[in-house]
A and B are shown apart, each in its own frame.
Chain A
Amino acid sequence: MQRVHEQEAGAGSARAGQKSGTSKISQKSLGRYMGSLGLFLVILVFGIVLSILSPVFLSTTNIVNLLIQSTILAALAIGSTFVIMTGGIDQSVGSVLAVSSAVGLGLIEHHGMPVIVGVLVSLIIGIAFGIFNGFIITRFQVPALIVTLASMGIGRGIILIYTNGANISPVPDSYVYLANGRILGIPVILLLVGLLAVIAHIILSNTVYGRSVYASGGNELAARLAGIRTKRVITMTYVLSGLMAAVAGILLSARLESAGPTAGNGIELTVIAAVVIGGTSLFGGQGNILGTLLGVLLISLVSNAVNLLGVPPAWDQLVKGVVILVAALLDVYRRKYSKAGLSK
């Protein structure tokens, strides 16, 4: 009989969970920025600890370096925020990053095309992958997990065939300028990604499209009955994700001064981690760009710490995994705590 109650109570509390899930959300929009604030505090504490352990940490060079290193991840994560907010997922970003930059750069290097043509072709390839993903997902109702896994393989395959496994270099100066150039002393790459983040934020918070993304992710059927063409809205999120992956690819090859078949290998999981740590729900319907940027910052901080503290590179992955886990747990704990505070 005891077990009976436990089990039934289990079912009950699942319902209670759902219930409080909604009140958590009410909490959420009350303090959409309070959520980000919690993450900000985690980053702050991490930064303070790091600055005590390593005096180099707070130097301008290191901070700028840290920010520059996080731009690639940031570009990818901004795109993925849209996708994840509709309850979808895009695992193809790493492959799209590689294939778009390699083909674009290949046109410039091997076929003597102008730089601008190479860049445009890269962006078009990113968009094309997005259209492909979005179309298959919305038209045939194939789970995004599978479709983007497939296009991840297809992309990686194309690039291996195209490059024959070799890196493409060198890179023209005007291309490298994206990574090394400075305007008023600020690295171009930071300005560029910063600008993209601002645009993405404005799209999400102030436009009909942004509102449609929230609605399609929160309740696709209700959004459709309200006259939103949810398939288009969702397809568009994959297009944005592909586009941002191409941007990330261009920036990465500008930084590395080469494009290669292994670029961005496995980065999709880090991207998803950053977005989710940043408060975007994997179930869709909530999230924001500021949170995503903080998630990116936290993950980049870990890599930076591993460097500064002289942790053997072999430990990098392990440390990263643990920190992501701790950050995610802290976030869940914080939400639960603030929720309990609300219901009293």
Chain B
Amino acid sequence: MIESLEVRNVVKRFSGVTALKNMHFKLRGGSVHCLVGENGAGKSTLIKILAGHYMPDEGEIALDGQPLRIANPRESQRLGISIIHQELLLVPELSVAENISLGRLPKAGSGLIDWKSAQQKAASSLALLNAAIDPKSKVAELSTGEQQLVEIARSLSVDTKILILDEPTASLSESETSRLLSIIKDLKKRGLAILYVSHRMEEVFDLADDITVIRDGAVVQSASKEEMDPDKVVRLMVGRDVSLERKNKGVHGRKVLEVRGLGRSGALRNVNFHLHEGEIVGFAGLVGSGRTEIARCLFGVDRIDEGEIILQNETVRIRDPLDAIRKGIGLVPEDRKNQGLVLQGSVKNNATLSVLGRLQRFGWIKGGQETDLVQSYKEQLRIKTPSIDTPVSSLSGGNQQ
């Protein structure tokens, strides 16, 4: 049990870019504190500071009123801070029990692993979550939601006082989400201090005792839930009035894309839609429902088994991504780190990766033209980077996107 964890006027800069300008809020024991902000607002940086990956440049962290340094991840764990990241950190080929006791598997007198006690331990921490998961099952066979519960169970099996969840519902189904929310409420009652990062208003207002809205690395407002309402939070988060109900009846131009009976065995079946100039078509669905697969087929990453793609009134076959790009299709992949960026590369090299063909003569890159192009995009998209030669890895998530 803790009284409070305070973040006091924390500032963090990266090679010239200020990621956190002024972070301050107070997380109380036995409460859920929601941290809300757009992508790139500084949420991940703040979490990394609490995890001991980064040291703040200014300001301090105080636990129960005592200022302290979280110099490294081990220190953070010693203080009882556990973090459930968006990407889960489990060993897929090991059992649930092994994952929960990872690195501290109990040994029997013989020196071998005491499986019985490992399984009991796993079962008891899973029971705290009312999770019906067999400790013997392999993690790879569990659903995302179940895997997340395993990770929470692991953090409960060490002496966790502060639980930080970073957008935990991003890949959960509706029923998994509501189960997770009730588990969080239960953990709160047990006295844990919970920092919940999300920008889903329903969850925030369901869970929160306190809400802190951040924008551009600074706290816009930190208050109890009673002083906030969803419209206000969204307004604070975005920095201007946004109507959630806005309907766009824009004028659509010609039909540019039509998909008929698209199918790919094991992934897609009879997908039909069309897209006009000036139109945005949204695909809604759970993880695994085939949203990504449609995009991959349109972009030539995966082969289609049936159906046709009609581009500008012409049936086309898209052989590979280069073919798609030549036909005028662009893809912003869902996972920028694994699919979008060459992290070692500079902003410039990444920005032009897909258009190098247009910036060359006889294979030779026209450096000046490349720089001008990237510079203009940097300004248009307001990418915050000290220079276009900065490695893309040192940019914040939002700016990387």
Contacts and interface: CB of A to CB of B under 8 A. Distances in A.
B104 A3 contact: yes
A219 B299 CA distance: 18
Interface string B346-373: 1001000110110110011101000000
A138 B52 CA distance: 41
A11 B89 CA distance: 9
B309 interface: no
Contact of B321 (A1, A25, A225): A225
A209 interface: yes
Interface string B77-105: 11000000000010000000000001110
A19 interface: yes
A219 B51 CA distance: 27
A26 B392 CA distance: 8
B322 interface: yes
A128 B326 CA distance: 31
B104 A211 contact: no
Contact of B78 (A5, A19, A228): A5
Interface string B43-82: 0000010011101000000000000000011101110000
Nearest to A344: B55
B343 interface: yes
Contacts of A228: 322, 353-354
A208 B74 contact: no
Contact of B345 (A8, A215, A221): A215
B331 interface: yes
Interface in A2-21: 3-13, 15-16, 19
Given A12-B74, A22-B394, A218-B342, A225 B357 contact: no
Given A225-B299, A225-B321, A26 B394 contact: yes
A212 B394 contact: no
A304 B73 CA distance: 47
A217 to B, nearest CB: 8
Interface in B179-235: none
Given A9-B77, A26-B15, A208-B360, A222 B341 contact: yes
B365 A16 contact: no
A82 to B, nearest CB: 15
B397 interface: no
Nearest to A342: B15
Interface string A219-231: 1011111111100
B322 A8 contact: no
Contact of A13 (B72, B353, B360): B72
Interface of A: 1, 3-13, 15-16, 19, 22-23, 25-26, 28-29, 206-209, 211-212, 214-215, 218-219, 221-229, 285-286, 343
Given A25-B343, A286-B344, 18 more contacts: A6-B103, A8-B158, A9-B77, A12-B51, A12-B52, A12-B73, A16-B73, A19-B48, A29-B391, A206-B364, A208-B360, A215-B342, A222-B338, A225-B331, A226-B321, A227-B322, A227-B326, A227-B354
15 contacts: A4-B158, A8-B103, A8-B158, A12-B74, A12-B77, A208-B356, A209-B363, A218-B342, A219-B341, A222-B341, A222-B342, A224-B301, A226-B325, A227-B354, A343-B55
